[in-house]
Amino acid sequence: MTQHEQDNQGAAQRPNKLSVNLTAADLGAVDAIVAQHRPFVRRHAVHLAALRLGLQELRANPERLIEQLQHECQRRSTRG
């Protein structure tokens, strides 16, 4: 049983909310995937799939988190 299935067992649960600020480039990438798979895919599905796939990747390769944080720090320092 996957973690997702375990999380959704039992009585109907209210989903938790998560807010994330996206760059225009990130939102454009999401929208490109949505456009490619219309009318069956919406932003929510892409966000959820990206989160779940990303969490799988980070569990398997935790060093990727540090790499991403370093990349983001460098991006921010060159931007300002």
Q: According to the model, what pLDDT value does residue 12 have?
A: 64
pLDDT bin (cut points 50, 70, 90) of residue 9 is low
Mean pLDDT (whole number) for 5-31: 82
* Token pair in block for residue 66: 């540090």
Calpha distance 46→49 (Å, rounded)? 5
Calpha distance 42→44 (Å, rounded)? 5
pLDDT (tens digit per residue) in 25-61: 999 999 999 999 999 999 999 999 999 999 999 999 9
Say which residues have a Cβ less than 8 Å from residue 58's Cβ, sequence separation at least 6. 64, 65
